[in-house]
Structure 1
Amino acid sequence: MEIRNSTSKDIDEIFRLYKIATDFQKTKFTVHWPEFEQSLIATEIAEYRQWKILIDNKIACVWVTTFSDPQIWEEYNADPSVYIHRIATNPDFRGQNLVGSITEWAKRFALENNKKFVRMDTVGDNRGLINYYEKCGFTFLGLSKLRNTNGLPSHYNNATVSLFQIEVVI
């Protein structure tokens, strides 16, 4: 297993994984990811914020990081943090605890970048997902009703999100 930044050559596969994830979300939840703009993904790649796990030279999982997330984390955004978004797993690699691998990587990444927290959110009150993220080492901080979603992807409109974090030792 290897973790690397995604490249522009990965865009088609990233969108394929997003479609698979969104189709799955539609079978389980009322809120699901919208279709993301290709320019958004291209910008994340250019800014070295789009990541992938490679297993046997195949993309097993993708996700995005940022160091700022003020609309979701509001006053807590002032804390030095790494924020993880849009984890999408290739179905050929499900069941391999890839979120656990991302979590371990994110803690090292946070330390390398002098950040104190690794944070994530998910839309809604999904108890199964909350339990899973807790098993991966995240503390569930509770639910937060978003106030300003201008410019965020549409699944955040009028949303309540579950907030998660891991404190790392600097």
Structure 2
Amino acid sequence: MSDLKFQEIKISELSLVLELFKAAAEKINKKNVDHWQYWKNPPQEKIEWVTTGIQNHEFFFIILNDTEQIGMVRIMNIDEPYWGITNDKAKYIHSLVIKDQYNGKGLGSLVIEKVTEIAKLENCEFLRLDAVSKNVGLCNYYERIGFQKVGVKESQLSTNTLFQKQLS
């Protein structure tokens, strides 16, 4: 099994984060899926969302075998905009991006497994994430790896399906 580590992203690396989002948006667009296209030219509120996440120590580069930066992920303890105020202890995954050349190797699942391990160590009840509802392939993928659809969240930029996995 590949060795994955998370390396906290610094504010000085904001441009690298935005480049990863843009590359992901272009890749998704080639699949004719209308998802994340605002990242090609992100609105100020999205840049602020990323900046806040970096300042809150929530954004991480995904490092493979101690050397290769293969993508990024945002790991949150609270996700009020999508999930509201809850009393459940959960981890929230956002912005999981694997660089194109590493796609199809099961690395996204490994990242989710690693976040699951962290969540269990912190005695979380749930692992939660969301996907743009129009991205049927991604929604189906999350269900295949054990997440359940538990709701829908409408936002100004998209309609998202909410998924969670009970941790025991």
Percent of aligned positions that are identical: 22
Q: CA shift at 1:133, angstroms?
A: 1.3
CA distance in 1, matches of 2:50, 2:157: 24
Determine the C-alpha separation between the residues in 2 that align with 1:70 and 1:40: 13
- The answer to whether the Cα contact below 8 Å between 2:153 and 2:161 also exists between their aligned partners in 1 is no
Structure 1 residues 161, 41: closer, same or farther in 2, change over 3 A? Answer: closer
- The answer to whether structure 1 residue 29 and structure 2 residue 33 are counterparts is yes
8 Å contact kept, 1:5–1:45: no
2:152 equivalent in structure 1: 144
Conserved 8 A contact 2:64-2:70: yes
The correspondence for 2:143, drawn from 134, 137, 150, is 134
The verdict on how the C-alpha distance between 1:72 and 1:45 changes in structure 2, with shifts beyond 3 A counting, is: closer
Gaps of 5+ in 2: none
Distance 1:92 1:115 in 2: 33
Contact 1:82 1:110 in 2 (8 A): yes
Q: Sort the Cα spacing of 1:70 and 1:42 in 2 relative to 1 into closer, same or farther, 3 A.
A: closer
1:1-170 matches, cutoff 5 A: 1-8=3-10, 10-27=13-30, 28-34=32-38, 35=42, 36-37=46-47, 40-56=49-65, 57-74=67-84, 77-141=86-150, 143-146=151-154, 156-157=155-156, 159-169=158-168
Give the structure-2-normalised TM-score: 0.79
The TM-score normalised by the length of structure 1 is 0.79
Q: Distance in 2 between matches of 1:41 and 1:91?
A: 21
Query: Runs of 4 or more off by more than 6 Å in structure 1?
Result: none
Task: Give unmatched runs, 5+ long, in structure 1.
Answer: 147-155
Q: Deviations over 1:79-136 (max 9, x none)?
A: 2111111111111211111221122111111122221100001122432112211222
RMSD of equivalent CA atoms: 2.3
